[in-house]
Structure 1
Amino acid sequence: MRRTARVVTTALVGMALLAACNSGGGESPAPEPAGGPTSSPAEQTTAPAPSPTATTDGGDDSDDGATAVPADETAEPTDGADYSTEPQNDPGWPSSGGELLPTGVRVGSHEGYERVVFDFEGTGTPGWRVEYVDEAVEEGRGDVIDVGGDFTLQVIATGVRYPEGEDENGRVAQGSYGTDGADLIEEVRVTGIFEGQNQAFIGLDEKAPFRAFTLTDPARLVVDVRTTDG
């Protein structure tokens, strides 16, 4: 009997200890998920992506609102155009070359020649004719224009359109353009658009040979005048 009582007492003590262990600290915490603790949605933060940085690739001659200087400013003609004092025109003259708006005139001095670039916006390629004239006579009006220099090249570009609205009207190339850095070219004068043609005059100190050709992307009409050191 004593042995049996001792066994029962031992069993009761073990059960009491087990019950105390299960009830003493409350519920056991849930196991942590693999990879560490997870914050609540309100606590999560996301770093904003960096804003793209705008870049501007303007040459020394570019400014706000001006036509950027093309990379191929010294490009050679692809149609074999050669220097001459005789009248020159494109093969399709006088056909229209597109729907273009004349927007700028630039003059540059290079080794062996001086270059005049007429800039256009729009679609197509301008048709053109360039020739020496005795007088600078404005198309439509018939007025004789005073252009600097002793000799005058007339430049006609076809395939142009009239400006639409005040914004475009303010960007159309017209009037007198300076020739800083040029020795042979004294002045470039653009009279404007008349019946789908854009008329301009290049005033020169001498009757030098010239060549004319077009460039694309964007559309440009180029007139090179050979200098005496060429």
Structure 2
Amino acid sequence: MHTLRNSRVRAGLAASLCLAMGLSLASCARDSETQDTAAAVSMKTDSSSAAPGDAKNQKTEKATLDTDPAPGGDFSFGPAEAAQADASYLSIEDVRIGSHDGYDRIVFEFGGEGKPGYFIRYEDIPAQQASGKPISVDGSPKLSVDLRGIGYPFDFEKTDYPSGPVRPEKTSGVNEVVGAGTFEGQSQYVVGMKGEKLRYKVFTLSNPTRLVIDFEAK
């Protein structure tokens, strides 16, 4: 995944190289756009003084898709659950949604220490923890994603974690993803699907710490 900061650094280096070779910046820009064809929607949180939920606090940007291969094992409709590693205390840095050949992918990226736990399952009416209120998400059926081992945003000098809503443009089965808050070490997200349940696979990756959900394409 490219960050905005890394993209700006690379753009500056590319511009300097083009000038040194006597090429036009416009020509280099066209080449760069042609090469960056694989893109995902990313939701970011600004850690400034903006209040949680403020429209200015939510960002949407392009990012290169995570290409890490999934481990072996079958896709499934059933629930997936795993405990967090001991002493885990994690922040949610980004949530990315994109499409690969044969599957859609959602990536949760973490900061902090440890390895996240999770409980993921299809639910008719996902409810917000503590309040019990229904969580509104555009799409059906709905996949509930509980991330465990999560600290509160303010412990990581953040106003909030990424919450969206984010609607990717070219995914086969994922319609929208929204966040529903953090309470007592657990953050909630809900995935709205495009009309039918899809089998999925859940796994974690390192450097950086990530939780990945791959959905089998229709």
Instruction: Settle same-fold status: TM greater than 0.5.
Output: yes
The match for 2:199 is 209
The match for 1:188 is 177
Q: Is the 1:138–1:191 Cα contact (8 Å) retained in structure 2? A: yes
Return the alpha-carbon distance in structure 2 between the equivalents of residues 217 and 181 of structure 1: 27
Structure 1: 5+ residue runs without aligned partners? 1-54
The sequence identity of aligned pairs, in percent, is 32
Q: Does the C-alpha gap of structure 1 residues 75 and 159 become closer, same or farther in structure 2, counting only changes over 3 Å?
A: same
Q: Is the 1:95–1:158 Cα contact (8 Å) retained in structure 2? A: no
Return the alpha-carbon distance in structure 2 between the equivalents of residues 190 and 152 of structure 1: 13
C-alpha RMSD of matched pairs (Å) = 3.0
Return the alpha-carbon distance in structure 2 between the equivalents of residues 88 and 166 of structure 1: 28
Q: Is the 2:127–2:133 Cα contact (8 Å) retained in structure 1? A: yes
What pairs up with 1:83-162 in 2 under 5 angstroms? 83-90=75-82, 93=83, 98-162=88-152
Relative to its length, the structure with more helix (as a share) is: 2
Shift of 1:82: 2.4
Shift >2 Å, 4+ stretches: 55-71, 93-97, 164-167
Q: Does the C-alpha gap of structure 1 residues 89 and 178 become closer, same or farther in structure 2, counting only changes over 3 Å?
A: same
Q: Is the 1:214–1:220 Cα contact (8 Å) retained in structure 2? A: yes
Return the alpha-carbon distance in structure 2 between the equivalents of residues 83 and 145 of structure 1: 26
2:165 counterpart SS class: strand
Q: Is the 1:86–1:131 Cα contact (8 Å) retained in structure 2? A: yes
Scaled by the length of structure 2, the TM-score of the pair is: 0.67
Matched residue pairs, number?
Answer: 169
Shift of 1:97: 6.5
2:77 counterpart SS class: coil
Return the alpha-carbon distance in structure 2 between the equivalents of residues 68 and 98 of structure 1: 30
The match for 2:210 is 220
Scaled by the length of structure 1, the TM-score of the pair is: 0.64
Q: Is the 1:96–1:126 Cα contact (8 Å) retained in structure 2? A: no
The match for 1:199 is 188
The structure having more radius of gyration, on CA atoms, is 1
Return the alpha-carbon distance in structure 1 between the equivalents of residues 62 and 187 of structure 2: 21
